[in-house]
Amino acid sequence: MPKGFVIRIKGADYYVSSGDHEVRCSVRGRFRTGGNPEEILPVAGDNVIFREEAVSGMKIPTGVITSVEKRKSVFARGDSSGRKKIKVLGANIDSVFLIHSVMKPELNLRLLDRMLVAAECDNIPPVICINKTDLLENEDMIMERMRRYGEMGYEVIYCSAVEGRGIERLRLLMTGARSIMAGPSGSGKTSLLSALEPGLDIRIGVVSEKTGKGKHTTTHFEFHRIAGGGYIGDTPGIREFGIWGLSKQTLITCFRDLREFNPECRFASCTHSHEPGCGVKNAVEKGIVSKERFESYLKILEELPDRIQ
């Protein structure tokens, strides 16, 4: 039977890209698509096997998904309420582009840190995109705030869909890969996607003057084919980002700037929060690593279980 991957989901319809055409598929039965028992249906990015079926009057081929192949990666967020729910934003991802605006809405580094943790958790290479730079009168402060992320080895791209800034670099990194764009509502993901692929028919929203937050212009996840080869997915805007798949003991492995000091801790089970002789806290006190990043770590730590069930 033919294979393909799910490029979008609308209601009960799963659109599968197979070769040079799409097949609108249904799902019958349940699939164990991941390690979490709540994952009973395919998600965008899943590689699937399907059976084509002839249905009269349909403009595109139709079929039924019969099985979901093992995932190589998952970019997911947990339910910040602590109910242990998981929301998979995309599967089998080669890279994730984290789109955060300098203003409207204002840059939120705590949210960025959480999304970096999710990428690190499943070894998905992240690229940080600082968008709407055309709104800045002086970039020095933003570039100083982002300097430490570059020092950690993350690529930081300064972008503006209005001015075309950073577009060619984004296109180069996305070509030939299966990637997604994720970020807060109103950060400009859809505008960047329109600048990357001008022919796409996608709707661009506005930011509320009252709240400074964006509206969810993108209402469902969808992969778009890139002219030079590859796919880029545009996810609905995110306002909260819970962490899934980590415990208090493993969180440190997802902080590039903190984990190198883990071996210097007195206790092997150190959570770097209250224990004496902590190498990470010592590095923070000496100013070797950022206090703000350590505070992000502590905030996430409070929400995690002692161990994965």
Categorize the per-residue pLDDT at 222 as very low, low, confident or very high, splitting at 50, 70 and 90.
confident
Asked whether the CA dihedral 154, 155, 160, 161 is positive or negative, the reply is negative
Query: What is the per-residue pLDDT across 19-40, written as a single tens digit (0 to 9) for each?
Result: 888 999 998 776 655 555 555 6
Query: What is the per-residue pLDDT across 45-83, written as a single tens digit (0 to 9) for each?
Result: 999 999 988 766 667 789 999 999 999 999 998 865 555
Reading the block at residue 187, the tokens are: 């950060």
Asked whether the CA dihedral 145, 147, 151, 153 is positive or negative, the reply is positive
Reading the block at residue 77, the tokens are: 């967020």
pLDDT at 231 over 90: yes
Query: What is the per-residue pLDDT across 3-24, written as a single tens digit (0 to 9) for each?
Result: 999 999 998 899 999 988 899 9
Query: What is the per-residue pLDDT across 156-198, written as a single tens digit (0 to 9) for each?
Result: 999 999 999 999 999 999 999 999 999 999 999 989 999 998 8
Reading the block at residue 114, the tokens are: 């959480």
Distance (Å, rounded) from C-alpha 196 to C-alpha 62? 30
Query: What is the per-residue pLDDT across 73-131, written as a single tens digit (0 to 9) for each?
Result: 999 988 655 555 788 889 999 999 999 999 999 999 999 999 999 999 999 999 999 99
pLDDT at 254 over 60: yes
What confidence score (pLDDT) does residue 236 get? 83
pTM above 0.95, yes or no: no
Q: Which domains does the chain have, with CATH numbers?
A: 3-68 (2.40.50.140), 74-234 (3.40.50.300), 251-303 (1.10.40.50)
- List b or e across 140-175, with b for residues whose CB sees 16 or more CB atoms inside 10 angstroms: eebeeebeebeebebeebbbbbeeebbbeebbebbe
Q: Between 199 and 223, whose confidence is greater?
A: 223
117 within 8 A of 182, measured Cβ to Cβ: no
Q: Between 140 and 60, whose confidence is greater?
A: 140
What confidence score (pLDDT) does residue 234 get? 86
